[in-house]
């Protein structure tokens, strides 16, 4: 029997679940994820106070993916903390993206004490907050911040990273993460500050930041695969890598796992297709595994061949 079971932060779960972003903000959306084939329930990145996010239009579908500048619309960390007692059938992961380091510390201190929170994904890579840089591109600030928060960890902690493009930067971030009790990294967030234009109207397609936004979907898969591959090689063996970027089929999920991902997250395709994407992609991945003679995810994880 083909199994998609994997192990993250000490918990067994199916290896395909939602990315923080689409369809994981409200109570109804979180319940829908719990009822779906998603292997876990991951929340929208939360801030101290509820946020409406950036002005609309702030999301646009393209034939190769999407562009967005959502601006972290969410219901505040207290709401996602309270939801922990209501999501009982699957691992419940809270994504955190405070507006300041001190905000993040306050949220983490609270979530560390909440029963029902399986893990925390610290989002250090949102590219769509006006005037707020991505911390994970500042290696010293990231190191200093992780030093502050890792002194009193009581929940498994993961870090969502932006895309890196230079081998030196891969190594710098891996060296930092290897110094701390990080359970997992998620590679990658959207590629920041892309620009999509409608040539017919001669206009940008989203309103915030003069049309600049995060690029997701098919277009970013090669970058995501490269980041998964590099970090799976550079990180300590006890830090899992979660692949995110351009996954809309079983083959896409297979490629991420082949590069070293222990699990994968679905973002743009979830927005486009809805929660039915988890069952479809899971079934497609099982068929691929059956055809190749793999019974478990671990049978091919990280076994990408080089020529």
pLDDT at res. 110: 98
* Strand 184-187 with 157-161, pairing: parallel
Q: How far apart are CA 83 and CA 104, in angstroms?
A: 19
Which position has the token pair 């969502």?
160
* Residues recorded for the chain: 307
- What would the pLDDT profile of 227-286 be if each residue is shown by its tens digit? 999 999 999 999 999 999 999 999 999 999 999 999 999 999 999 999 999 999 999 999
Q: How far apart are CA 18 and CA 25, in angstroms?
A: 12
Mean pLDDT, residues 93-118: 97
Domains for the chain: give ranges and CATH numbers: 5-54+72-190+219-299 (3.20.20.70)
Instruction: Please pick, among 15, 24, 46, 126, the residue that the annotation labels catalytic.
Output: 126
pLDDT at res. 263: 99
pLDDT at res. 262: 98
pLDDT at res. 219: 96
Mean pLDDT, residues 183-194: 98
List alpha helices for the chain, DSSP H: 27-35, 77-82, 101-111, 139-149, 167-177, 221-234, 250-258, 268-273, 276-292
pLDDT at res. 131: 83
The burial class, CB within 10 Å (0-12 / 13-18 / 19+), for 151 is: exposed
Does 152 score more than 90 pLDDT? no
pLDDT at res. 132: 87
Cα atoms in the Cβ-side hemisphere of radius 13 Å centred on 94: 33
The burial class, CB within 10 Å (0-12 / 13-18 / 19+), for 241 is: buried
Nearby residues of 39 by Cβ (< 8 Å), 6 or more positions away: 4, 6, 13, 14, 15, 16, 17, 90, 91, 263, 278
Does 135 score more than 90 pLDDT? yes
State pTM to two decimals: 0.98
Q: What is the pLDDT of the chain when averaged over all its residues? A: 97
- What would the pLDDT profile of 39-49 be if each residue is shown by its tens digit? 999 999 999 99
pLDDT at res. 130: 85
pLDDT-derived band at 178 (thresholds 50, 70, 90) equals very high
126 is an active site residue = yes
Does 196 score more than 90 pLDDT? yes
pLDDT at res. 8: 98
């Amino acid at each position: 029997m083909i199994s998609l079971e994997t192990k993250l932060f000490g918990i067994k779960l199916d290896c395909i679940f939602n990315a923080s972003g689409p369809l994981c903000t409200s109570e109804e959306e979180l319940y829908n994820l719990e009822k779906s084939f998603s292997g876990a329930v991951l929340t929208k990145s939360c801030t101290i106070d509820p946020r409406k996010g950036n002005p609309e239009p702030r999301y646009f579908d393209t034939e190769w993916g999407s562009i967005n500048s959502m601006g972290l619309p969410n219901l505040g960390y207290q709401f996602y903390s309270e939801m922990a007692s209501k999501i009982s059938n699957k691992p419940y992961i809270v994504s955190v993206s405070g507006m300041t380091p001190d905000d993040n510390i306050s949220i983490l201190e609270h979530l560390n004490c909440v029963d029902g929170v399986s893990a925390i994904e610290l989002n250090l890579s949102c590219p769509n907050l006006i005037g707020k840089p991505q911390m994970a591109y500042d290696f010293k600030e990231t190191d200093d911040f992780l030093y502050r928060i890792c002194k009193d960890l009581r929940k498994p902690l993961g870090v969502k990273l932006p895309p890196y493009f230079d081998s030196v930067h891969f190594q710098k971030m891996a060296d930092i993460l290897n110094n701390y009790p990080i359970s997992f990294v998620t590679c990658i967030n959207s590629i920041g500050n892309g620009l999509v234009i409608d040539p017919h109207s001669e206009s940008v397609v989203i309103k915030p930041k003069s049309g600049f936004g995060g690029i997701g979907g098919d277009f970013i898969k090669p970058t995501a695969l490269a980041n998964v591959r590099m970090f799976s090689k550079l990180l300590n063996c006890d830090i899992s890598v979660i692949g995110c970027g351009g996954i809309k089929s079983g083959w896409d999920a297979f490629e991420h796992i082949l590069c070293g991902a222990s699990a994968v997250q679905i973002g743009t395709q979830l927005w486009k297709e809805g929660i039915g994407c988890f069952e479809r992609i899971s079934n497609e991945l099982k068929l691929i595994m059956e055809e190749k003679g793999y019974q478990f995810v671990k049978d091919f994880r990280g076994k990408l061949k080089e020529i």
